Amino acid sequence: MYSRILAGLLEKRILRQISVLDMLRCDSRNNGDCGLIAMAHISNMDELGSPAHDFSLPNTNPRFGGETVSMGAMNDRNLLLIAFICNHCPYVVHIRDSFVEFAADYQRRGLALVAICSNDVLTHPDDSPERMAEEALKFGYSFPYLFDETQSTAKAYRAACTPDFFLYDQSRTLVYRGQYDSSRPGNNEPVTGEDLCAAVDCLLEGLPVSIEQRPSVGCNIKWKSGEEPDYFNV
């Protein structure tokens, strides 16, 4: 009981520290959604041990057959990573090449991976299904790229920003939610994916994943006007 309380207090302290530091480091050269400090958001860091939520969403990546992809279609894989991303966000663009390499490597080792874009395409047409398909082909996405038009899947996972990562074990229990690594646009730290890699490596080796996890930082998900979730803070 006390260990869980201490873990919760530690997590809240980390959230405060990360939110301040990363927003201060946000590169002012990035225009639009992420260029301003005020527009940076952090992931919700929901409770570890939470179950994965089922979904069935249209796939935009032409490299994969079938019109929809569901969580059940990946039951043959022991590990599942759900990544909320988009096309235009500078935080996603910043890690994109590295994440493509990460995906190809760990998929060969048994990781099931899907990426989901939940942005409102009326306000952000660069994230439309057609543009998602172009993005997937251009950068060689080795995973389905799903379109969450109703934004219900993002809300079920309490996804808050892009990128936002959710890693599940064989029983589809949440074991990691947080940053890809500490690199951000403009902070001059190399993109390594070390935080997410460490979590996946632990699962592959049958080891527990550390509960000391740092939140992801990025553009907020672009919610439809008037349909923002209760956890969204402008």
* Per-residue pLDDT band at 17 (split at 50, 70, 90): very low
Residue 100 reports pLDDT greater than 70:
yes
**Which tokens belong to 42?**
């952090």
3-state secondary structure of 40: strand
pLDDT single digits (tens) 39-88: 689 999 999 999 999 999 999 999 987 789 999 999 999 999 999 999 99
SS (H, E, C) 148-210: CCCCHHHHHHCCCEECEEEEECCCCEEEEEECCCCCCCCCCCCCCCHHHHHHHHHHHCCCCCC
The pTM of this model reads 0.86
The amino acid sitting at 150 is T
* Per-residue pLDDT band at 130 (split at 50, 70, 90): very high
Closest CA to 84 of 97, 98, 99, 74: 99
Strands 164-168 and 79-84: antiparallel
Domains of the chain, each with CATH number or no CATH: 2-220 (3.40.30.10)
* Per-residue pLDDT band at 234 (split at 50, 70, 90): low
